[in-house]
């Protein structure tokens, strides 16, 4: 069992959305503390949460999502998604990609990705903080890192490691810190400022392939944290292990959460 905050981060659903899905009956918590009202969720609810999130990405109304979830079989789920896709033909390419992944979410094995722990030493970074909806995240990463690189080149500050980002907040929009590790502190310029990436014990896994499939990495981390009784100690992070310009299938992204040191 895990608290709503961990479940929200693992499924990439906001706490506000989870509360709404509880009220509507789409996704009720596994248990609610009768004294505090705190909601707790089970690992077994990841598949249902993932399906709800993908259907909401498709802009399927909540009433239709309830019908799809009640259908209970992959064939009926896919048929319902296809009916909705016919009504929004202008987005056919995007919908086809998401629909093809529905079965992956439902059938995802619990050990699909290796989760490991590592210690991260503190480091100096150049950073930009952005605010964006989750749906617009992919559109701000490239320009944001390009801006950082250009500012650092102007000051002749060397980059010492792969680019990364941290999700500082997520309600209602994402607050995202883009960063590049650097050899020395740069001067503030435009949106860029200097910062420190703190030392942390990380639970991490590596996602290989297009960014649209990264949800599986977050679910794997959430499952591991719940099963090992660990607690979060900071915001979720992503480190982009290969340089831009490679084929989508060759991308490698480390997804990590700072966690307590354990016993």
SS3 for the chain is CEEHHHHHHHHCCCHHHHHHHHHHCCCCCCEECCCCCCEEECHHHHHHHHHHHHHHHCCCCHHHHHHHHHHCCHHHHHHHHHHHHHHCHHHHHHHHHHHHHHHHHHHCCCCCCCCEEEEECCEEEEEEEEEECHHHHHHHHHHHHHHHHHHHHHHCCCECCCCEEEEEECCCCEEEEEEEEECCCCCCECCEEEEEECCEEEEEEEEECCHHHCHHHHHHHHHHHHHCCCCECCCCEEEECCCCCCCHHHCEEEEEEEECCCC
For the domain that residue 18 is a member of, what is the CATH number? 1.10.1660.10
Question: Are residue 141 and residue 249 in the same domain, yes or no?
Answer: yes
Closest CA to 216 of 47, 93, 56: 47
Residue 263 has a pLDDT of 55
Question: Residue 71: what pLDDT?
Answer: 73
Q: CA 21 to CA 52: how far, in whole Å?
A: 9
What is the predicted pLDDT for the residue at 95? 58
pLDDT value of residue 225 = 93
Judgement on whether residues 242 and 162 belong to the same structural domain of the protein = yes
In a domain, 18, yes or no: yes
153 with 23, same domain: the answer is no
Counting the structural domains of the chain, the total is: 2
Question: Which range marks the domain in which residue 238 is found?
Answer: 116-258
Question: Rounded to whole angstroms, how far apart are CA atoms 12 and 201?
Answer: 22
Does 122 lie in the same domain as 248?
yes
Per-residue pLDDT, 41: 94
Q: Are residues 170 and 216 in the same domain?
A: yes
pLDDT score recorded for residue 160: 97
Give the per-residue pLDDT at 234: 92
Backbone angles phi, psi at 221, to 5 degrees: -65, -45
Spell out the residues 6+ positions from residue 211 whose beta carbon is closer than 8 angstroms to its own: 138, 248, 251, 253
Residue 198 has a pLDDT of 95
Is the same domain home to 125 and 26? Answer: no
Residue written as token pair 């250009």? 150
pLDDT at residue 105, rounded to an integer: 57
Question: Does 142 share its domain with 229?
Answer: yes
Domain harbouring 143, CATH code: 3.20.80.10
Do residue 153 and residue 98 come from a single domain?
A: no
The reply to whether 138 and 158 lie within a common domain is yes
pLDDT on residue 51: 85
- Return the closest-CA partner of residue 122 out of 202, 217, 232, 193: 202
Mind listing the pLDDT tens digit of every residue in the chain (263 residues)? Answer: 899 999 999 999 999 999 999 999 999 999 999 999 899 999 999 988 988 998 888 778 888 888 888 776 777 777 777 777 777 666 666 656 666 666 555 555 555 789 999 999 999 999 999 999 887 888 899 999 999 999 999 999 999 999 999 999 877 788 999 999 999 999 999 999 999 999 999 999 999 998 888 888 999 999 999 999 999 999 999 999 998 788 888 999 999 999 998 75
Residue 263 lies in a domain: no
What is the pLDDT, as a whole number, of residue 99?
A: 65
pLDDT confidence of residue 189 = 96
């Amino acid at each position: 069992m895990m608290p709503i905050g961990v479940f929200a981060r693992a499924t990439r659903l906001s706490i506000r959305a989870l509360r709404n899905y509880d009220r509507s009956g789409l996704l009720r918590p596994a248990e609610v503390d009768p004294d505090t009202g705190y909601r707790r969720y089970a690992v077994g609810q990841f598949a249902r949460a993932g399906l709800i999130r993908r259907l909401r990405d498709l802009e399927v109304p909540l009433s239709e999502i309830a019908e799809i979830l009640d259908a209970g079989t992959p064939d009926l789920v896919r048929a319902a998604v296809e009916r909705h896709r016919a009504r929004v033909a202008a987005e056919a390419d995007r919908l086809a990609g998401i629909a093809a992944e529905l079965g992956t979410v439902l059938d995802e094995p619990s050990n699909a990705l290796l989760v490991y722990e590592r210690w991260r030493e503190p480091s100096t970074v150049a950073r930009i903080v952005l605010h964006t909806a989750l749906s617009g995240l992919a559109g701000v990463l490239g320009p944001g890192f390009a801006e950082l690189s250009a500012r650092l080149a102007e000051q002749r500050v060397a980059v010492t490691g792969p680019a990364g980002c941290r999700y500082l907040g997520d309600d209602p929009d994402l607050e995202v810190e883009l960063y590049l590790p650097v050899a020395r502190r740069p001067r503030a310029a435009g949106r860029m400022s200097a910062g420190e990436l703190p030392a942390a014990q990380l639970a991490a896994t590596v996602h290989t392939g297009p960014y649209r499939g990264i949800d599986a990495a977050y679910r794997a981390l959430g499952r591991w944290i719940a099963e090992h009784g660990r607690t979060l100690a900071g915001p979720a992070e992503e480190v982009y292990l290969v340089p831009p310009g490679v084929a989508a299938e060759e991308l490698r992204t480390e997804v990590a959460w700072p966690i307590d040191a354990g016993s």
